Amino acid sequence: MSNDLRQNNLKAELANPVEPLLPIEKKLIGWSLGLGLVLLAILVILSRLFPVA
């Protein structure tokens, strides 16, 4: 690791105040998770409809 990295080490950064979750981040998390679960359910149904020959 470079000296630059050591000077900007993570320990010091973590001492900074926590950034609150923005509405767009909440949307990203919610939509990703929701869409993921729906798509997985569809894929499970498809895999049951078209089983491995």
Asked if 45 touches other proteins (CB under 8 A), the answer is no
How far apart, in whole angstroms, are the C-alpha atoms of residue 25 and residue 32? 10
**3-state DSSP percent of the chain in helix, strand and coil, to 5:** 70, 0, 30
Asked if 36 touches other proteins (CB under 8 A), the answer is yes
- Give the angle subtended at the CA of 7 by the CAs of 2 and 8, to the nearest 5°: 95
Asked if 49 touches other proteins (CB under 8 A), the answer is no
Q: Which residue ranges make up the site for other proteins (CB under 8 A)? A: 1-2, 4-6, 8-14, 16, 18-19, 21-22, 24-25, 28-30, 32-33, 35-37, 39-40, 43-44, 46-47, 50, 52-53
